[in-house]
Amino acid sequence: MTIDKFNRGQAMPTSSPSIPARVFSRRWLAVVCAATLGLAACDRTSQLEEGVSTEMQVRQEFGDPTTVTVQPDGTRVFDYPRQPEGFTNYVIIIAADGKVSSIRQLLTPDNFAKVTPGLTQQEVRNILGREAKRQRYDLKKEEVWSWRFKQDGLNARMFNVTFSGGQVTSTEVGEDPRESQPH
């Protein structure tokens, strides 16, 4: 008999789980905890409200932005790329009054559709934010930029943009090699 502290100290008969069951239980608990913490950490935007939240609150939730662009009207554009490890790239716009006027996740199907042949590298960067990976193919005189994202919020994928001469020639959605490798 062991004392079950969750049952108000009453003695209850229990059987000791086998070692594999304990290991499985601990692993399962670790996975559940990691997933729960990951979801809480990933959706920091739920703590912010457009027109209400302040720059200080943005910095508390997201930290310092990678870049700050000051517009002529006094608004500031904060870039929060989460590449290469994450699946999002955020742009948060702070109005001249110091309050959030816009929160945008850039890696969306609508933005992917805006990337069309002929766009420059800077235009693509303005649409999608910082890429996760760049790969040069010198013999073909091409460069491929890739962004990690979650398709339908579940499946890890890569959005790949091929450039030649500094302009988009093609795009594709492919497997995220990190997710397709055997563990």
Q: What's the chain's average pLDDT?
A: 81
pLDDT at 47: 83
Phi and psi at residue 114, to the nearest 5°: -75, -20
The proportion of the chain whose per-residue pLDDT surpasses 70, expressed as a percent, equals: 74
Q: Is the pLDDT of residue 17 over 60?
A: no
Q: Is the pLDDT of residue 8 over 80?
A: no
pLDDT at 178: 84
How wide is the angle at C-alpha 127 spanned by C-alphas 72 and 117, nearest 5°?
A: 125
What the block records as the tokens of 135 is: 């790969």
Q: How far is residue 111's CA from residue 180's CA, in Å, rounded to a whole number? A: 25
Q: How far is residue 168's CA from residue 39's CA, in Å, rounded to a whole number? A: 34
pLDDT digit string, tens, across residues 123-147: 999 999 999 999 999 999 999 999 9
pLDDT at 144: 98
CB 122 within 8 A of CB 136: no
Q: How far is residue 156's CA from residue 52's CA, in Å, rounded to a whole number? A: 33
Higher local confidence (pLDDT), 29 or 61: 61
Mean pLDDT to the nearest integer, 159-163: 98
pLDDT at 43: 59
Please report, for the chain, the start and end positions of each structural domain, with discontinuous segments joined by +: 45-105, 109-180
Q: How far is residue 32's CA from residue 49's CA, in Å, rounded to a whole number? A: 29
Q: Which of 93, 82, 162 is nearest to 130 (CA)?
A: 82
pLDDT digit string, tens, across residues 80-122: 999 998 999 999 999 999 999 999 999 999 999 999 999 999 9
Q: 109-180 has which CATH code?
A: 3.30.1450.10
pLDDT at 182: 63
What the block records as the tokens of 15 is: 């059987």
Mean pLDDT to the nearest integer, 154-166: 96
pLDDT at 18: 46
